[in-house]
Amino acid sequence: MSKARFVTTTALFTATLICVQLVLSGVGGVELVTVFFLAFCFFMGIRAGVAVAICFSLLRCFLFGFYPSVIILYLIYYPLFAVFFGWFGNRFGHKITNIKFLFIILFAVLFTAFFSMLDCAITPLIYGFNNKAWLAYVYSALPFMATQIACVMISVGVLFIPLVKGFEKIQHYSHT
């Protein structure tokens, strides 16, 4: 991929993720960023995924505010997500079998739970919560984590394959 195409792809998909996040930002625990970013990383690979992860993480701070815990959370989580799913797509190929699809859903759920637990570790450390405040923060995060996991299971189950096929078509038409 040429440098110009790489920059364009990174910019367009970062904008796409920002739009997807903005659309559902008012509904707690419901999000589609995971399935969109998952399909992108799976199809485009580690390099493109990490570039978008960093751009998305920083750009969303301009829109939603620069909170230290969120900056750290996003700059840890999304690049790790991109590395894993970019590697998964490269290692096991883009042909989606039933077993591979089940593992993709499983890993998406695990990453979603990891995101919530990472937030439950980073935020209390940044703000100096005592043990009671930390436990209250963890307990208050559980309903959102459950909602996010359910949302990820449904959205990845329904949208992942069409999104990957969409990326295949875009790639096909961009080379003609």
pLDDT of residue 173: 79
What length is written for the chain? 176
125-153: average pLDDT: 95
Residue matched to tokens 């190929």: 93
Cα-Cα-Cα-Cα torsion 107, 110, 114, 117, nearest 10 degrees, comes to 170
Determine what percent of the chain is predicted with pLDDT higher than 70: 98
Domains within the chain, CATH numbers bracketed? 3-174 (1.10.1760.20)
The per-residue pLDDT of the chain, averaged, comes to 94
Residue partners of 49: CB distance under 8 A and separation at least 6: 37, 40, 41, 81, 82, 83, 85, 86
pLDDT of residue 172: 76
pLDDT bin (cut points 50, 70, 90) of residue 61 is very high
104-111: average pLDDT: 98
pLDDT at 175 over 70: no
